[in-house]
């Protein structure tokens, strides 16, 4: 099978947040403290695929997604969309490209304006895009609502977010994202706030839209089973860095990094013979990341080299990258 070309190319992406301190603290030290939210992430997302990004809370998954869709500016690094560097885009080209990159947020209740009706929420992006004709805009909104299962559209268009169920609100969030005709959508924990009975419906809706609209997804989640169901390729993040990446079936069939093994062993299974890999301790502070491998403070197979030198993310097998001295 021929592999498609990358739509998104990320290289050495970093994002540091300065810590705001009181005036008393600044009297004793002038050194700035930084939160290393994302620290040297590189990945490729191919056209038409779903790329999964997994890891514990605080690993930098969401920040990576927000950086890619330009909701935040990176401290350093390169983001290319369709081979073009986003930093070099200006004016109309930059505006048009940003319309092609949208995001579905984790909490639909918090991300939807409670003072706006559903129809206005979905049409807001069309207004920004310059579609002023009310008839065309209404037709686009109605068609988008039908595409996400909010039917009949006239029943939902004049409702406010608080008048909808959680699943319906997330459908509104999806409709808002696809209304402007994007090519790339970053979905940040799109089903984590939904009831279990509704999750499969929303995930199947996303797969249906991916096929019918030709979308490319970045799926951000801590739920490994969701990523396994949805994605063709995936990467595992820990404390701001990618520690392993490969095709999803390869990664689930042969995880090499100790952190990946620990995550996968926590997936509930009916096979009692499968042993869970224990993780001891808490994730270190991103303000002062450990020297060497960032996972070595919790790794059951660490050795002296792990605490001294940081392992590079390199190919162990074809298109299977791992940052671990033991695996290498």
Is the CB of residue 260 less than 8 Å from the CB of residue 307? no
- Quick check: 272 pLDDT over 80? no
β-strand partners of 38: 15
Domains along the chain with CATH numbers:
1-49+60-100+233-268+277-328 (3.40.50.300)
- Quick check: 7 pLDDT over 90? yes
pLDDT at 10: 97
What confidence category does residue 90 fall into, taking pLDDT thresholds of 50, 70 and 90? confident
Query: Percent of the chain having pLDDT more than 70?
Result: 93
How far CA 162 is from CA of 116, 154, 158, 167, 172, in Å, comes to: 10, 17, 12, 12, 12
pLDDT tens per residue, range 297-317: 999 888 999 999 999 999 988
Q: How many CB atoms lie within 10 A of CB 23?
A: 6
Asked, as a colleague might, if the bond just before 152 is cis with ω within 30 of 0, I would say: yes
Pairing verdict, β 76-81 and 84-85: antiparallel
Q: What's the chain's average pLDDT?
A: 90
pLDDT at 105: 93
Which segment of 1-15, 18-32, 36-50, 84-98 scores lowest on mean pLDDT?
18-32
How far CA 70 is from CA of 65, 67, 101, 134, 256, in Å, comes to: 9, 5, 8, 29, 32
Angle at 18 between CA 11 and CA 287, to 5 degrees: 75
How far CA 264 is from CA of 33, 275, 278, in Å, comes to: 34, 11, 11
pLDDT at 275: 66
Model pTM?
0.91
Distance CA 187, CA 62 (A): 9
Higher pLDDT, residue 21 or 145: 145
- Closest alpha carbon to 175 in 135, 219, 121, 221: 121
pLDDT at 273: 56
Q: What does the pLDDT average to over 208-235?
A: 95
What confidence category does residue 127 fall into, taking pLDDT thresholds of 50, 70 and 90? confident
Q: What does the pLDDT average to over 66-80?
A: 95
- Quick check: 1 pLDDT over 70? no
pLDDT at 226: 92
Strands of the sheet with 233-238, listed across from one edge? 101-104, 184-188, 216-220, 50-54, 233-238, 241-247, 320-322, 314-317
């Amino acid at each position: 099978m021929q592999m498609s070309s990358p739509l998104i190319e990320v290289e050495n992406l970093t994002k540091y947040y300065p810590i705001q301190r009181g005036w008393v603290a600044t009297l004793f030290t002038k050194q700035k403290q930084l939160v290393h939210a994302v620290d040297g992430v590189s990945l490729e997302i191919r056209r038409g695929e779903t790329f999964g990004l997994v890891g514990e809370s605080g690993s930098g998954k969401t920040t990576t997604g927000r950086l890619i869709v330009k909701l935040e500016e990176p401290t350093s690094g390169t983001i290319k969309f369709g081979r073009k560097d986003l930093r070099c885009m200006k004016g109309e080209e930059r505006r048009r490209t940003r319309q092609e990159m949208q995001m579905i947020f984790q909490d639909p209740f918090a991300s939807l304006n409670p003072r706006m009706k559903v129809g206005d929420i979905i049409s807001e992006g069309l207004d920004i895009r310059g579609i002023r004709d009310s008839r065309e805009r209404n037709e686009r909104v109605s068609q988008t609502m039908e595409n996400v299962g909010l039917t009949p559209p006239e029943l939902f268009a004049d409702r406010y977010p608080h008048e909808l169920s959680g699943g319906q609100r997330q459908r509104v969030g999806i409709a808002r994202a696809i209304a402007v005709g994007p090519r790339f959508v970053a979905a940040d924990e799109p089903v984590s706030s939904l009831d279990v009975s509704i999750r499969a419906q929303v995930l199947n809706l996303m797969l249906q839209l991916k096929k019918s609209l030709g979308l490319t997804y970045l799926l951000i989640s801590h739920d490994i089973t969701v990523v396994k169901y949805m994605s063709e390729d995936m990467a595992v993040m820990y404390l701001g860095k990618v520690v392993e990446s490969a095709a999803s079936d390869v990664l689930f069939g042969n995880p090499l990094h100790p952190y990946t093994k620990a995550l996968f062993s926590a997936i509930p299974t009916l096979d009692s013979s499968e042993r869970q890999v224990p993780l001891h301790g808490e994730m270190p502070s991103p303000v002062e990341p450990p020297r060497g491998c960032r996972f070595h403070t919790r790794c059951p197979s660490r050795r002296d080299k792990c605490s001294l030198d940081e392992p590079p993310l390199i190919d162990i097998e074809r298109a299977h990258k791992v940052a671990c001295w033991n695996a290498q």
